[in-house]
Chains A and B, each alone.
Chain A
Amino acid sequence: MGIEGIGARVARKEDKRFITGSGRYVDDMVVPGMKHAAFVRSPHAHADIKKIDVKAAQAMPGVIAVLTGKEIKADGIGNLICGWMIHSKDGTPMKMGAWSPMAVDRVRYVGDAVAIVVAETKGQARDAAEAVEVTYKEKKSVADAVEALKKGAPQLHPEADGNLIYDWEIGDSAATDAAIAKAAHVTKMHIVNNRLVPNAMEPRAALGHYDKGEDHYTCWTTSQNPHVARLVMSAFYNVAPENKLRVIAPDVGGGFGSKIFIYPEEIVCLWASKRAGVPVKWVADRTESFLTDAHGRDHVSEVQLAFDADNRMTALKVDTVANFGAYMSLFSSSVPTYLYATLLSGQYAIPAIHANVRAVYTNTAPVDAYRGAGRPEATYLLERVVETAARELGVSPAELRRKNFIREFPYQTPVIMAYDAGDYETSLEAAMKEADYAGFEKRREKAKKAGKLRGIGMSCYIEACGIAPSAAVGSLGAGVGLWESAEVRVNAVGTIEVLTGSHSHGQGHETTFSQLVADRFGVPIDSVSIVHGDTDKVQMGMGTYGSRSGAVGMSAVVKALDKVEAKAKKIAAHLMEADEGDIVIENGELKVAGTDKSVPWFQLALAAYTAHNLPGGMEPGLKEGAFYDPTNFTFPAGCYICEVEVDPDTGETEIVQFVAADDFGNIINPMIVEGQVHGGIAQGIGQALLEGAHYDPASGQLLTASYMDYTMPRADDLPSFKVSTSNTPCPGNPLGIKGCGEAGAIGSPPAVINAITNAIGNNDLAMPATAQKVWSALKAATKH
């Protein structure tokens, strides 16, 4: 692997600029003549707009323009769309309500954009935004998805009768019901997956610049997929044709999914730049982020898991209501369907599965993909019901899982996914050993003497990464293909640029992608640059989400490297008068195997560009591109074990041990993988213990709109994690890798809750398991 090749713990190249404050984020961008924007936002969850009076605001100091929804509509800018078509079980297409970039006649959630003010300074823009007089007629609102489905609930969109976007199903309903009817045991649970706010460190931002001379737009934005942003803004929102629109996503401070989507603000800033004749920059403050970033999760489910007399799983039945918020965000429809219900088989051989999912409009922020996107919801539901079943059946949770593991691959689940490889037993064994599972009862006794309730919980997750085979997702309704592109440019002096359609917003691509090149050509990673995030520099690409940059993005790089290597070997063979098949590349040199003949890498590159002596008919240069379309999803899996101590007096939970044993296939940089797992577990523990977006049911106001009320996990909330990996290489891609970006957030919540419910002896506990909830559940358990 070499010291910088595949498998090496190389320190991250990008960290120097990040930790010394030299990163370049959208807010750092300055364009001559640039002005600042503030949005006027709805203070109501649901209201008709009767009148917008901008006169007073226009007269405020420094104000350049005040623009409203009527004007953006008049200029032909289109409504925002959801790009994945889902059909209800009755065959009708999903019911998408109109989402204007700025509300025209009705607002549907607190934070809905109503107008934009452009002024000389940010402060002036904000002052003027407060002076825009909007006359609202308030309507009744509904924040809870189950309530929104009830008869008589406030209606959000005329297109979606009863607020129902779709009523979708997967699996064999009849077979599932039949298996449940004759089961020896059925475990039933009501499972709520709490709504989360993504909270990337960098808030969303956009800088729109219309160049009148060129009739050309540039948009700097906090995006995980600038090419998709350009495509959507051109093809659907009518901002500008693709060749007249450049989208740049520079350094981006975390995304977690929330920066996949195209939001109103970047569209409005681009349009406003033309209207106002100045470059327009908007940067969200933290409250705007809480109010308007797409939230995650928010499912309410009923689940039944059936067993035969031998404790083998025979059927799983799930009924889920998914809260979509006020508008359908870009990929929202796919999250509780193809990213959720297709994973409900987990690591288990379950002959019959049926899931029904209803997607619902409410007067809340839009909900879309957030780290894990559907897979945490599936894992939480399944792993809680499995652990609870083990308690009801009086068997060890590990044994019950072991008995039902899938052991032969490939394995076709009843819910579309075909698992290609895995070894769940190995992860389970590794986690149990590291956690000293066998010694738990002794630790429980010891804790009891100290007045604490100790509990242990397990979670065996599977997820689908490497999103995704284009033809497959196309057949399921996706509006785009999910391949990735790469171009490898060897410069005339031998340094190398890799242009990738993947986008790094914290993942460390500048290091790991460089390691692929170092591994291949034996050059130092410092001589490799990774270029990404600019539609004018990089060929069309699909961006980063769903743990796809390794399995899909790197696979494209590998394909391009193959082509560069083949051409380099041809040139080397020609130069050294050797057979092409005898050329090997080692330590930055092309050698003729078994001889002392060699050409240094830089000389080979120079030869390709001077073109003085190339094989007959060969084009000069050394630059190759490739597109890679995956053949299947990849299936990372693992076992997490959490151990907690609960203070019975206060209900406070302390996580005393957390073990993660993951199978990510082959690994490029173990240190970066561990970092991803640590971050994912921190987010998963955040969901399990601390985080929850809370809308006031009566007013629809977001009560958790700052860090005073929304609890982000902090270092002292978390233990040191014990992480390890095993490896069943993925057979579907050239590097044998699976993806690791979301696993921690997917696998950890059920392990935490299973541990607490084990400690307190009550399975009825919802996330986030705050001290009060645990105390109440403990009280309820001891009453009986």
Chain B
Amino acid sequence: MYSTNYHRASSVADAVKLLKKADDGKFVSGGMTLIPAMKTRLAAPSDLVDLRHVPELKGVKISGKTVTIGAATTHAEVAANAKLASVCPAICNLAAHIGDPHVRHMGTIGGSIANNDPAADYPAALLALGATIFTNKREIAADKFFTGLFETALKDDEVITAVAFTAPAKCGYAKFPNPASRYAMTGVFVAKAKDGVRVAVTGAGEDGVFRSKEIEAALSKKFDASALEGVSVSAGTLMSDIHANAEYRANLVVVMAKRAVASANG
């Protein structure tokens, strides 16, 4: 690891100020991807500005069906939030299966979506839930937020403050983990809300998380695993790597969608 300067921000404004002062600074909020990248000398920020301890970024608020999760809330906190589980158990279940206990106690929802790893779990959830991402500058719809592999709509000095969504009538998540990294080799989040069915796929797309129109169409007719019998998705824009080719991932998208729907229907 190259040497770096560590700063613990006290507020969002403080964080922005600290980043401005740095030569080549980076926000860190858990660092579950950034720190390993630094250890293998693939990243070398001059300064790290830690958002994880900013009070205004922490915590889960629930008002009726509206869920707001502070950006610095850890996966473990999301997983263990009983009130959240009563309105949207799928998101708690998803958080409970990210990485391992160490990762879940360090990693945060804001850090995860800002990094937008194409195999991360949260992007699928937020996209399927039609969530809104709040930053220190604006609100961004999930549909506009995830723009490509490790790419988001965020500007350099923009800080995610929270994500918010309306808990749908039903939702569920299923993933097939990569056997080595245990990231999603394919993960599918399905949500049935008032305005229709949304299905988002992570771990499989060439350009990162995406919505599967084929599966949304089938589930819109009937929100049941049986509606997916015989449905196939195109392998055309799916990823091929040493772990799984596009054809296999296309199969996994349908299988995981079935399991996600089954889980949503409880």
- A690 is an interface residue with CB less than 8 A from chain B: yes
Q: Bits for B233-255, please: 1 = Cβ < 8 Å to A, else 0.
A: 00000000011110010011001
- A92 is an interface residue with CB less than 8 A from chain B: no
CB of B242 within 8 A of CB of A704, answer yes
Of B2, B40, B248, the residue contacting A772 (CB under 8 A) is: B248
Of B176, B181, B242, the residue contacting A771 (CB under 8 A) is: B176
Whole-angstrom distance between the Cβ of A43 and the nearest chain B Cβ: 13
Of A130, A650, A690, A694, the residue contacting B176 (CB under 8 A) is: A650
CB of B255 within 8 A of CB of A649, answer yes
**B248 contact set on A, CB distance < 8 A:** 651, 771-772, 775-776
- A126 is an interface residue with CB less than 8 A from chain B: yes
Interface members, chain A 635-662 (any B CB < 8 Å): 649-652
**B1 contact set on A, CB distance < 8 A:** 123
- B179 is an interface residue with CB less than 8 A from chain A: yes
Interface members, chain B 74-92 (any A CB < 8 Å): none
- A396 is an interface residue with CB less than 8 A from chain B: no
Q: How far is the CA of A776 from the CA of B249 in the complex (A)?
A: 12
Q: How far is the CA of A504 from the CA of B178 in the complex (A)?
A: 35
CB of A770 within 8 A of CB of B41, answer no
Of A649, A652, A708, A776, the residue contacting B180 (CB under 8 A) is: A708
Q: How far is the CA of A712 from the CA of B179 in the complex (A)?
A: 9
CB of B242 within 8 A of CB of A694, answer yes
**A123 contact set on B, CB distance < 8 A:** 1-3
CB of B255 within 8 A of CB of A711, answer no
**B181 contact set on A, CB distance < 8 A:** 707-709
Q: Bits for A755-784, please: 1 = Cβ < 8 Å to B, else 0.
A: 000000000000000111001100000000
Q: Bits for B148-161, please: 1 = Cβ < 8 Å to A, else 0.
A: 00000000000000
**B176 contact set on A, CB distance < 8 A:** 650, 652, 771
Interface members, chain B 174-207 (any A CB < 8 Å): 176, 179-181
Whole-angstrom distance between the Cβ of A699 and the nearest chain B Cβ: 13
Q: How far is the CA of A712 from the CA of B255 in the complex (A)?
A: 26
**A127 contact set on B, CB distance < 8 A:** 2
**A609 contact set on B, CB distance < 8 A:** none
Of B3, B179, B245, the residue contacting A711 (CB under 8 A) is: B179
Whole-angstrom distance between the Cβ of B33 and the nearest chain A Cβ: 10
- A710 is an interface residue with CB less than 8 A from chain B: yes
CB of B179 within 8 A of CB of A770, answer yes
CB of A710 within 8 A of CB of B255, answer no
- A703 is an interface residue with CB less than 8 A from chain B: yes
**A287 contact set on B, CB distance < 8 A:** 40
- A720 is an interface residue with CB less than 8 A from chain B: no
CB of B243 within 8 A of CB of A772, answer yes
Q: Bits for B40-80, please: 1 = Cβ < 8 Å to A, else 0.
A: 11000000000000000000000000000000000000000
CB of B255 within 8 A of CB of A650, answer yes
CB of B2 within 8 A of CB of A710, answer no
Whole-angstrom distance between the Cβ of B181 and the nearest chain A Cβ: 4
A interface majority secondary structure: loop
- A412 is an interface residue with CB less than 8 A from chain B: no
Whole-angstrom distance between the Cβ of A774 and the nearest chain B Cβ: 10
Q: How far is the CA of A652 from the CA of B248 in the complex (A)?
A: 12
CB of A710 within 8 A of CB of B244, answer no
CB of B244 within 8 A of CB of A703, answer no
**A706 contact set on B, CB distance < 8 A:** 40
Q: How far is the CA of A707 from the CA of B41 in the complex (A)?
A: 16
Q: How far is the CA of A152 from the CA of B124 in the complex (A)?
A: 48
- CB closest chain-A residue, reference B255: A649
**B2 contact set on A, CB distance < 8 A:** 123, 127
- CB closest chain-A residue, reference B180: A711
Q: How far is the CA of A711 from the CA of B2 in the complex (A)?
A: 27
**A712 contact set on B, CB distance < 8 A:** 180
Known: A650-B252, A708-B180, A709-B180. A126 touches B41 (CB 8 A): yes
CB of A710 within 8 A of CB of B180, answer yes
B interface majority secondary structure: loop
**B41 contact set on A, CB distance < 8 A:** 126, 130
B40, B179, B248, B252 — which one has the most chain A CB atoms within 10 A of its CB? B179
**B3 contact set on A, CB distance < 8 A:** 123
Known: A650-B252, A706-B40. A772 touches B180 (CB 8 A): no
CB of B243 within 8 A of CB of A770, answer yes
Q: How far is the CA of A717 from the CA of B182 in the complex (A)?
A: 12
**A704 contact set on B, CB distance < 8 A:** 180, 242
CB of B255 within 8 A of CB of A703, answer no
Q: How far is the CA of A287 from the CA of B40 in the complex (A)?
A: 8
Whole-angstrom distance between the Cβ of B186 and the nearest chain A Cβ: 9
Q: How far is the CA of A770 from the CA of B241 in the complex (A)?
A: 13
Interface members, chain A 704-725 (any B CB < 8 Å): 704, 706-712, 717
Interface members, chain B 83-137 (any A CB < 8 Å): none
Of B40, B242, B245, B252, the residue contacting A709 (CB under 8 A) is: B242
Q: How far is the CA of A712 from the CA of B2 in the complex (A)?
A: 28
Q: How far is the CA of A650 from the CA of B250 in the complex (A)?
A: 11
- CB closest chain-A residue, reference B252: A650
Q: How far is the CA of A707 from the CA of B39 in the complex (A)?
A: 14
Q: How far is the CA of A717 from the CA of B181 in the complex (A)?
A: 14
Q: How far is the CA of A704 from the CA of B176 in the complex (A)?
A: 20
Q: Bits for A688-708, please: 1 = Cβ < 8 Å to B, else 0.
A: 001000100000000110111
Known: A706-B40, A709-B243, A772-B244. A690 touches B252 (CB 8 A): no
Whole-angstrom distance between the Cβ of A704 and the nearest chain B Cβ: 7
- CB closest chain-A residue, reference B176: A650
Q: How far is the CA of A651 from the CA of B244 in the complex (A)?
A: 12
- CB closest chain-A residue, reference B258: A649
Q: How far is the CA of A771 from the CA of B243 in the complex (A)?
A: 9
CB of B180 within 8 A of CB of A707, answer yes
Whole-angstrom distance between the Cβ of B245 and the nearest chain A Cβ: 7
CB of A690 within 8 A of CB of B179, answer yes
Of B179, B242, B245, the residue contacting A703 (CB under 8 A) is: B242
Q: How far is the CA of A710 from the CA of B179 in the complex (A)?
A: 9
Q: Bits for B211-247, please: 1 = Cβ < 8 Å to A, else 0.
A: 0000000000000000000000000000000111100
Whole-angstrom distance between the Cβ of B201 and the nearest chain A Cβ: 15
Interface members, chain A 338-366 (any B CB < 8 Å): none
Q: How far is the CA of A185 from the CA of B1 in the complex (A)?
A: 61
B1, B243, B255 — which one has the most chain A CB atoms within 10 A of its CB? B243
Whole-angstrom distance between the Cβ of A620 and the nearest chain B Cβ: 59
Q: How far is the CA of A652 from the CA of B256 in the complex (A)?
A: 13
Whole-angstrom distance between the Cβ of B232 and the nearest chain A Cβ: 13
Q: How far is the CA of A354 from the CA of B255 in the complex (A)?
A: 47
Q: How far is the CA of A708 from the CA of B119 in the complex (A)?
A: 12
Interface members, chain A 122-177 (any B CB < 8 Å): 123, 126-127, 130
Q: How far is the CA of A607 from the CA of B40 in the complex (A)?
A: 62
B2, B180, B245 — which one has the most chain A CB atoms within 10 A of its CB? B180
- CB closest chain-B residue, reference A286: B40
Q: How far is the CA of A651 from the CA of B243 in the complex (A)?
A: 13
**B242 contact set on A, CB distance < 8 A:** 694, 703-704, 709
Q: How far is the CA of A694 from the CA of B243 in the complex (A)?
A: 10
Q: Bits for B1-30, please: 1 = Cβ < 8 Å to A, else 0.
A: 111000000000000000000000000000
- CB closest chain-B residue, reference A717: B179
**A690 contact set on B, CB distance < 8 A:** 179-180
**B245 contact set on A, CB distance < 8 A:** 772
Q: How far is the CA of A130 from the CA of B180 in the complex (A)?
A: 29
Q: How far is the CA of A651 from the CA of B186 in the complex (A)?
A: 14
Q: A690-B179, A771-B176 known; 8 other A-B pairs, CB under 8 Å?
A: A650-B251, A651-B248, A652-B176, A707-B181, A708-B181, A709-B180, A771-B248, A772-B243
- 9 A-B residue pairings within 8 Å (CB atoms): A130-B41, A650-B252, A651-B248, A704-B180, A708-B181, A711-B180, A717-B179, A770-B179, A772-B243
Using a CB–CB cutoff of 8 Å, the interface residues on chain A facing chain B are 123, 126-127, 130, 287, 649-652, 690, 694, 703-704, 706-712, 717, 770-772, 775-776
Using a CB–CB cutoff of 8 Å, the interface residues on chain B facing chain A are 1-3, 40-41, 176, 179-181, 242-245, 248, 251-252, 255
Q: Nearest 10 A-B pairs (CB), nearest first?
A: A711-B180, A708-B181, A772-B248, A711-B179, A649-B255, A772-B244, A694-B242, A709-B180, A703-B242, A650-B255
